[in-house]
A and B are shown apart, each in its own frame.
Chain A
Amino acid sequence: MLNFFLLIIIYAGIYALMAIGQNCITGNTGMLSLCHAGFFCIGSYTTAIMCKTFGLPFWFSLPVAAIISGFVGFLIGVPTLRLKGDYLCIATLGLGEIIRNIATNVNPVGMMSVPRAELFGYQFSSRNKFTFILLIWFFVAVAYILFRQLAHSRIGRAMIAVREDEVAAQSNGINVTKYKIGAFILGAGVGGTAGCFATAYTLTVQPSSFTFMVSVMVLCMVVLGGMGNLAGVILGAFIIEFISYFPQLVGLSSVIPAQASQIIYGLVLVVMMICRPQGILGRDKYRYGDPRTFTQKLSARLPGRKKEGV
């Protein structure tokens, strides 16, 4: 029971990284893309190949995976730029499947017993889940801080402008093409690092685990938590992972088939679209001009100080 709980927290962390990437593409820049499984696949294979075949350390494979999948994001972004909405969705879906098919054809059985990630002689493994949780959530926190800074800068605002109205964005001097490609590169890069951690945890890579369903799950997390809201998409990752492991968690995996979770995702999305289309946490409310410093804002929020504030 506890083990399953820890497993959910680890997978929620891995998927939270993916969702942060997807949020950059879909939530901020407004491109409905469905190829995050492809970036995940590239990241996983990069780590597996670098660690096992070349015997390089895990930490070295992490930035390499981010760069390679970012580059693939660039390759996917360039030809699909002119597409919008449903068309972009279909095109990226196809490209994601191409990545998986290449993996299946080159290496149908996958790779087993990849060396563990090591830090100062300590090995991160599935045997000690607590340390792995620390590892993965440390990186989620880093990604959260970096992408939060992006969303709250002039650059992130320009991405939102592209989402809201491309024509108006151009008339404001925003190079829409550049921002769209940039969003794809950043989103893909983070998706790739998520793949590294998945490999570091399971120590195996199988092409069959990068199906289209993974992309759908990640998109669900973003839509569920709130498009463009980083805390929201991390919450979404938790909820979706919880749903998918719920049968095992309550010990009913023999009664409830694994496919049931897919029905539940669909149900959750439909209910969300009807009741709260902006997602659980909704839009990120950030006051750009708030002249108060962080500590001032914090103290204003603390109870008991409120009366002095005015």
Chain B
Amino acid sequence: MRILEAQEVTKAFGGVVAVNKVNFNVEQGLVNGLIGPNGAGKTTLFNQITGMDVPTSGKIIFDGNDITGLPAWKISRLGIARTFQNIRLYNDLTVVENVMMGLHFKVGSDPFHHRLAQAFRSYFNAGKENRELYTRALEWLEFFNLTHVKDEFARNLPYGNQRELEIARALASEPKILFLDEPAAGMNPAETEHLMKIINRIKEHGVTVVLIEHDMKLVMNICDNITVLSFGQKIAEGTPEEIKSNPLVIEAYLGREDD
């Protein structure tokens, strides 16, 4: 079942068309890969879907609703969480506080209505609410084996742990889809191995994953289906085996032989 559909999404920055009429489907419960050479428009497509940017044209349908052009905070409340290519943690907050931020809008029953009333409730019951959020945040840290650094400032963590913490923060909001933008960038093989296990566990939890990645070993191992972008256009779509043998993909990555 398709949980998210990007239809003919185009994004132009002046004369540069970063994403050109791309159709991108996300299948529920699977790990969906999005690959392509540098500058192919992968992150731009992510930004259109997660509301960081508004597409020039095209439509984004999530769970049957049109979410094109909604602000990022609304989209995230609908159940789309993401991480960033360049890690964006709250450096001056501790590890556990970072995860508590992921739980920000999980307080109260309704993520949209009566938020002001909820804010007052949060203000007067801060102590009780903090303890509750703290306990929930600790569960996520346990999931990622980060409990021992919970009171450390986020900026003091090693690189690999920072990546994990960012995923933990995104997962804490219990999203329906988790967008990971190059999670293995800068990781050593052991850390990548660990990341692979984490992504598989996220999948087991029933969260749909969309993954941008350059590490082909990782992509081919864990993705159920892969979409390939090149120069802003979709050039291929299919299972890892199909993608591996697709001549267009090989050409995009390695160039044509007779050039």
Contact = CB atoms under 8 A, between A and B. Distances in A.
Interface of A: 149-150, 152-155, 157-158, 160-161, 163-165, 167-176, 283, 287-289, 291
B173 A172 contact: yes
A170 B96 CA distance: 19
25 contacts: A149-B123, A149-B124, A153-B123, A153-B126, A154-B130, A154-B133, A155-B123, A157-B93, A160-B93, A161-B93, A161-B101, A161-B104, A164-B91, A165-B88, A167-B84, A168-B88, A170-B51, A171-B72, A171-B76, A172-B73, A172-B76, A172-B169, A174-B101, A176-B73, A288-B134
B77 interface: yes
Contacts of A287: 151
Contacts of A283: 92
Nearest 5 A-B pairs (CB), nearest first?
A: A289-B134, A153-B126, A170-B72, A164-B90, A173-B105
A199 to B, nearest CB: 30
B88 A167 contact: yes
Nearest to B83: A171
B72 A288 contact: no
B159 to A, nearest CB: 17
A174 B107 CA distance: 12
Contacts, number: 110
Contact of B104 (A149, A174, A288, A289): A174
Main DSSP-derived SS at the A contact region: helix
B30 interface: no
Contact of B135 (A153, A170, A175, A289): A289
Given A152-B130, A154-B122, A170-B51, 15 more contacts: A152-B126, A153-B122, A157-B97, A161-B93, A164-B91, A168-B84, A171-B52, A172-B73, A172-B104, A173-B76, A174-B104, A288-B96, A289-B96, A289-B131, A289-B138
A171 B50 contact: yes
B110 interface: no
A170 B100 contact: no
A169 B52 CA distance: 11
Contact of B126 (A149, A167, A168, A175): A149
Given A154-B122, A164-B93, A172 B138 contact: no
A173 B73 contact: yes
Contacts of A153: 122-123, 126, 129-130
Contacts of A176: 73
B101 A172 contact: yes
Contacts of B111: 173
